[in-house]
Amino acid sequence: MNPKQYPGESLSDKKTRTKKIIHALKKEYPDSRCSLNFSNPFELSVATILSAQCTDKRVNKVTGDLFDKYPTPEDYASVNIRELEEDIRSTGFYRNKAKSIKGFATAVIDEFDGQVPQSLDELTDLPGVGRKTANVILGVAYEIPGLVVDTHVKRISRLLGLTTETQPEKIEYDLQQLVPKEDWTQWAHLIIDHGRAVCKARSPRCGECVLFEYCPSGVIQEE
C-alpha cells in the first residue's frame, strides 16, 4: 500500500474520495447487506459471536438448527455447556464461543430483562461482545449507525489509503471522520462484498475493480 500516492490530500479531499468510493460500491453491489440469518436482535448476537474465524455460510448452516433448538435467551443460559459446544462445534473455537454465548444470554437476562441493549457501552460490557460485534448488533438489528471493522474492512480501508492504522478501534475512528454517518453500517457490507468478489487478499483483480481510480494501491499486471 502507498497512501502517499495522493500527496497533500486534505481531509476534505479524502472525504470527497470516500464518498465516490461509496457511490461506486453501492452501484456495484445494490443488494449488499448482512449475510447472517436471524429473526431478532438476540439471534443476530449469537450468529455474530459464532462468525468469528468462520464463514457466514457455515454459521447460517449451524444456526438453522440452533435457533429452533434454543428459541430464547433462557434456553442458552440453562443448557449444559458441553451440549452447546457440540451444537456449534463446526464453527470452530467452539468452547470459547459456547462460553461467550452462555455468558451473553445470562447477562442479557439478568441485566436487561432478556432484551439485547441498544448502546455501545452496554453491549461491550457483555460477555463475548467486542466493538465489532456491538456495531453489527447496533447497525443491523437496531439501525443505529455502527462502523464494523473486520478483516476485510481493515485490509481494504488501508489499501484505499483511508487509514494507516492497524488496530481496529483506531481504524474505526479514522473511518468515522470520512464515511458519512448514514453509511456507517452499510460501509462494512459493501467492503465485505467487494473483498469477496474482487479485492481478494491473495489475488486482487485490480483490472476489474470499480475503485481502481480511487485506490492508491491498485496495480494492473502487464500481460
> Residues with catalytic annotation?
132, 150
How far is 3 from 175, CA to CA, in rounded Å?
Answer: 15
DSSP 125-178: TSTT--HHHHHHIIIIIS--------HHHHHHHHHTTS----SHHHHHHHHHHH
Q: What are the C-alpha distances in Å from 173 to residues 5, 27, 119, 165, 179?
A: 22, 26, 17, 10, 10
